[in-house]
Amino acid sequence: MPAAYLFDMDGLLLDTERLTMEGFLDCAPLVQRDAAEMRAFFTTLVGLTARRSQHLMTEFCGPEADLDAISAHWERSCERRLADGVPIKPTVADTLAGLSGQGVQMAVVTSTDGARARHHLERAGLLAHFSFVLGGDEVSATKPDPAPYLEAAARFGFDPKLCAAFEDSDHGLTAAATAGCFAVQIPDLRPPGRPFPQLGQAFASTLQDAVTHAQGHFKQRCRASAPSV
Protein backbone atom coordinates (compact mmCIF):
# COMPACT_ATOMS: atom_id res chain seq x y z
CA MET A 1 0.00 0.00 0.00
CA PRO A 2 1.10 3.61 -0.38
CA ALA A 3 2.92 4.94 2.67
CA ALA A 4 0.69 8.03 2.57
CA TYR A 5 -2.25 9.35 0.59
CA LEU A 6 -1.98 13.03 -0.40
CA PHE A 7 -5.09 14.82 -1.64
CA ASP A 8 -5.80 18.10 -3.35
CA MET A 9 -8.95 19.76 -2.01
CA ASP A 10 -11.00 22.03 -4.32
CA GLY A 11 -12.40 20.08 -7.26
CA LEU A 12 -11.03 16.83 -5.84
CA LEU A 13 -12.54 16.40 -2.36
CA LEU A 14 -14.86 19.41 -2.35
CA ASP A 15 -17.15 20.28 -5.24
CA THR A 16 -16.18 23.92 -4.97
CA GLU A 17 -14.49 24.76 -8.28
CA ARG A 18 -17.81 24.93 -10.12
CA LEU A 19 -19.34 26.94 -7.29
CA THR A 20 -16.40 29.37 -7.39
CA MET A 21 -16.74 29.74 -11.16
CA GLU A 22 -20.43 30.56 -10.78
CA GLY A 23 -19.47 33.21 -8.24
CA PHE A 24 -17.01 34.66 -10.74
CA LEU A 25 -19.70 34.79 -13.43
CA ASP A 26 -21.79 36.91 -11.05
CA CYS A 27 -19.06 39.54 -11.42
CA ALA A 28 -19.70 39.98 -15.16
CA PRO A 29 -21.09 43.56 -14.81
CA LEU A 30 -17.85 44.57 -13.05
CA VAL A 31 -15.47 42.57 -15.25
CA GLN A 32 -17.27 43.59 -18.45
CA ARG A 33 -16.58 40.33 -20.30
CA ASP A 34 -19.06 37.81 -21.62
CA ALA A 35 -19.75 34.51 -19.86
CA ALA A 36 -17.82 32.37 -22.36
CA GLU A 37 -14.67 34.49 -21.93
CA MET A 38 -15.01 34.39 -18.15
CA ARG A 39 -15.48 30.61 -18.06
CA ALA A 40 -12.44 30.07 -20.27
CA PHE A 41 -10.35 32.40 -18.13
CA PHE A 42 -11.49 30.78 -14.89
CA THR A 43 -10.15 27.40 -15.98
CA THR A 44 -6.65 28.92 -16.12
CA LEU A 45 -6.92 29.73 -12.40
CA VAL A 46 -7.78 26.19 -11.26
CA GLY A 47 -5.04 24.83 -9.00
CA LEU A 48 -3.35 28.19 -8.41
CA THR A 49 -3.02 30.16 -5.19
CA ALA A 50 -5.05 33.31 -4.60
CA ARG A 51 -1.91 35.39 -5.00
CA ARG A 52 -1.07 33.97 -8.43
CA SER A 53 -4.71 34.18 -9.48
CA GLN A 54 -4.77 37.88 -8.55
CA HIS A 55 -1.91 38.57 -10.95
CA LEU A 56 -3.76 36.84 -13.80
CA MET A 57 -6.95 38.70 -12.86
CA THR A 58 -5.14 42.01 -13.32
CA GLU A 59 -4.13 41.02 -16.84
CA PHE A 60 -7.60 39.70 -17.72
CA CYS A 61 -9.64 42.59 -16.37
CA GLY A 62 -7.35 45.37 -17.51
CA PRO A 63 -5.84 48.36 -15.70
CA GLU A 64 -9.13 50.25 -15.39
CA ALA A 65 -10.93 47.48 -13.45
CA ASP A 66 -11.53 47.85 -9.73
CA LEU A 67 -10.04 44.54 -8.60
CA ASP A 68 -10.90 45.14 -4.94
CA ALA A 69 -14.57 45.57 -5.82
CA ILE A 70 -14.51 42.51 -8.08
CA SER A 71 -12.83 40.38 -5.42
CA ALA A 72 -15.27 41.51 -2.74
CA HIS A 73 -18.28 40.81 -4.97
CA TRP A 74 -16.86 37.40 -5.92
CA GLU A 75 -16.23 36.49 -2.28
CA ARG A 76 -19.77 37.44 -1.24
CA SER A 77 -21.24 35.45 -4.09
CA CYS A 78 -19.26 32.36 -3.14
CA GLU A 79 -20.16 32.69 0.53
CA ARG A 80 -23.87 32.83 -0.35
CA ARG A 81 -23.49 29.58 -2.25
CA LEU A 82 -21.69 27.98 0.71
CA ALA A 83 -24.27 29.13 3.26
CA ASP A 84 -26.06 25.76 3.25
CA GLY A 85 -22.85 23.73 3.50
CA VAL A 86 -19.70 22.80 1.62
CA PRO A 87 -20.47 20.34 -1.20
CA ILE A 88 -18.46 17.12 -1.44
CA LYS A 89 -17.53 15.29 -4.63
CA PRO A 90 -19.07 11.84 -5.29
CA THR A 91 -17.60 8.84 -3.35
CA VAL A 92 -15.34 11.12 -1.25
CA ALA A 93 -17.01 10.68 2.15
CA ASP A 94 -17.15 6.88 1.98
CA THR A 95 -13.67 6.57 0.48
CA LEU A 96 -12.02 8.68 3.18
CA ALA A 97 -13.96 6.92 5.93
CA GLY A 98 -12.79 3.56 4.59
CA LEU A 99 -9.17 4.66 4.48
CA SER A 100 -9.42 6.08 8.00
CA GLY A 101 -10.76 2.74 9.16
CA GLN A 102 -7.61 1.11 7.78
CA GLY A 103 -5.45 3.52 9.78
CA VAL A 104 -3.62 4.91 6.76
CA GLN A 105 -1.73 8.20 6.71
CA MET A 106 -3.56 10.97 4.86
CA ALA A 107 -3.00 14.68 4.29
CA VAL A 108 -4.43 17.49 2.19
CA VAL A 109 -2.07 19.43 -0.08
CA THR A 110 -3.96 22.44 -1.44
CA SER A 111 -3.31 25.81 -3.06
CA THR A 112 -6.00 27.33 -0.84
CA ASP A 113 -4.70 29.14 2.24
CA GLY A 114 -4.37 26.70 5.12
CA ALA A 115 -6.80 28.33 7.56
CA ARG A 116 -9.52 28.58 4.90
CA ALA A 117 -8.92 25.00 3.76
CA ARG A 118 -9.20 23.62 7.30
CA HIS A 119 -12.38 25.63 7.85
CA HIS A 120 -14.01 24.25 4.69
CA LEU A 121 -12.94 20.69 5.42
CA GLU A 122 -14.31 20.92 8.94
CA ARG A 123 -17.65 22.24 7.65
CA ALA A 124 -17.72 19.38 5.15
CA GLY A 125 -17.11 16.85 7.94
CA LEU A 126 -13.81 15.65 6.48
CA LEU A 127 -11.07 17.36 8.50
CA ALA A 128 -10.73 14.61 11.13
CA HIS A 129 -9.55 12.12 8.49
CA PHE A 130 -6.28 13.97 7.89
CA SER A 131 -3.04 14.11 9.85
CA PHE A 132 -2.52 17.66 8.58
CA VAL A 133 -3.54 20.17 5.91
CA LEU A 134 -0.79 21.96 4.00
CA GLY A 135 -2.08 25.19 2.47
CA GLY A 136 -0.72 27.30 -0.34
CA ASP A 137 0.47 29.90 2.16
CA GLU A 138 2.34 27.25 4.19
CA VAL A 139 4.84 25.95 1.63
CA SER A 140 8.10 27.26 0.16
CA ALA A 141 6.72 27.30 -3.40
CA THR A 142 3.28 26.63 -4.85
CA LYS A 143 1.83 24.30 -7.48
CA PRO A 144 2.86 23.48 -10.19
CA ASP A 145 6.19 23.50 -8.34
CA PRO A 146 6.72 20.10 -6.65
CA ALA A 147 7.49 21.75 -3.29
CA PRO A 148 4.03 21.21 -1.71
CA TYR A 149 4.18 17.45 -2.27
CA LEU A 150 7.84 17.17 -1.34
CA GLU A 151 7.16 19.01 1.91
CA ALA A 152 4.04 16.96 2.70
CA ALA A 153 5.95 13.69 2.20
CA ALA A 154 8.83 15.01 4.30
CA ARG A 155 6.44 15.93 7.10
CA PHE A 156 5.34 12.29 7.21
CA GLY A 157 8.98 11.17 6.93
CA PHE A 158 8.39 9.29 3.66
CA ASP A 159 10.04 9.27 0.25
CA PRO A 160 7.52 10.87 -2.17
CA LYS A 161 7.89 7.79 -4.39
CA LEU A 162 6.13 5.82 -1.66
CA CYS A 163 3.14 8.20 -1.66
CA ALA A 164 0.01 8.32 -3.80
CA ALA A 165 -1.29 11.75 -4.80
CA PHE A 166 -4.71 12.68 -6.14
CA GLU A 167 -5.37 15.81 -8.20
CA ASP A 168 -7.96 17.28 -10.54
CA SER A 169 -6.01 20.16 -12.10
CA ASP A 170 -3.05 20.11 -14.46
CA HIS A 171 -1.12 22.45 -12.15
CA GLY A 172 -1.61 20.15 -9.19
CA LEU A 173 -0.92 17.00 -11.19
CA THR A 174 2.36 18.51 -12.41
CA ALA A 175 3.38 19.27 -8.82
CA ALA A 176 2.55 15.75 -7.61
CA ALA A 177 4.15 13.88 -10.50
CA THR A 178 7.35 15.91 -10.59
CA ALA A 179 7.70 15.41 -6.83
CA GLY A 180 7.87 11.67 -7.57
CA CYS A 181 4.48 10.62 -6.20
CA PHE A 182 2.32 8.10 -7.99
CA ALA A 183 -0.28 10.55 -9.28
CA VAL A 184 -3.88 9.92 -10.27
CA GLN A 185 -5.80 12.69 -12.04
CA ILE A 186 -9.57 13.01 -11.66
CA PRO A 187 -10.45 15.82 -14.10
CA ASP A 188 -13.01 18.37 -12.97
CA LEU A 189 -13.27 21.68 -14.85
CA ARG A 190 -11.38 21.59 -18.15
CA PRO A 191 -11.91 23.39 -21.46
CA PRO A 192 -12.86 20.98 -24.26
CA GLY A 193 -9.87 19.78 -26.25
CA ARG A 194 -7.17 20.88 -23.81
CA PRO A 195 -4.46 18.18 -23.84
CA PHE A 196 -3.49 16.61 -20.54
CA PRO A 197 0.11 16.85 -19.33
CA GLN A 198 2.01 13.67 -20.17
CA LEU A 199 3.61 12.87 -16.82
CA GLY A 200 2.82 9.19 -16.42
CA GLN A 201 -0.29 9.82 -14.36
CA ALA A 202 -3.23 7.46 -14.10
CA PHE A 203 -6.78 8.69 -14.63
CA ALA A 204 -10.01 7.97 -12.78
CA SER A 205 -13.55 9.31 -12.71
CA THR A 206 -14.10 9.17 -8.92
CA LEU A 207 -11.93 9.23 -5.84
CA GLN A 208 -12.94 5.67 -5.00
CA ASP A 209 -11.70 4.45 -8.38
CA ALA A 210 -8.53 6.53 -8.03
CA VAL A 211 -7.67 5.02 -4.65
CA THR A 212 -8.32 1.51 -5.94
CA HIS A 213 -6.05 2.22 -8.91
CA ALA A 214 -3.27 3.54 -6.68
CA GLN A 215 -3.46 0.55 -4.36
CA GLY A 216 -3.29 -1.79 -7.35
CA HIS A 217 -0.23 0.05 -8.65
CA PHE A 218 1.63 -0.32 -5.34
CA LYS A 219 0.70 -3.98 -5.01
CA GLN A 220 1.98 -4.66 -8.50
CA ARG A 221 5.17 -2.74 -7.83
CA CYS A 222 5.71 -4.70 -4.62
CA ARG A 223 5.27 -8.04 -6.41
CA ALA A 224 7.61 -6.97 -9.20
CA SER A 225 10.36 -6.08 -6.70
CA ALA A 226 9.95 -9.21 -4.56
CA PRO A 227 12.90 -11.66 -4.86
CA SER A 228 12.12 -14.89 -6.67
CA VAL A 229 12.30 -18.08 -4.64
Q: Which residues of 43-55 are buried (b: 16+ CB within 10 A; e: fewer)?
A: bebbbbbeebbee
> At residue 85, what is the residue type?
G
Q: What is the pLDDT of residue 6?
A: 98
| More confident position, 35 or 49 | 35
Check: CB of residue 117 under 8 Å from CB of residue 43. Answer: no
Q: What is the mean pLDDT of residues 179-189?
A: 96
How far apart are the C-alpha atoms of 126 and 116, rounded to whole Å?
Answer: 14
Tell me the average pLDDT of the chain: 92
Q: What is the pLDDT of residue 202?
A: 96
pLDDT value at 222 more than 90: no
Q: What is the mean pLDDT of residues 148-153?
A: 98
pLDDT value at 196 more than 60: yes
How far apart are the C-alpha atoms of 200 and 116, rounded to whole Å?
Answer: 31
Q: What is the mean pLDDT of residues 157-172?
A: 96
Q: Supply the pTM of this predicted model.
A: 0.89
What is the DSSP code string of 68-128? Answer: HHHHHHHHHHHHHHTTT---B-TTHHHHHHHHHHTT--EEEE-SS-HHHHHHHHHHTT-GG
Q: What is the pLDDT of residue 226?
A: 62
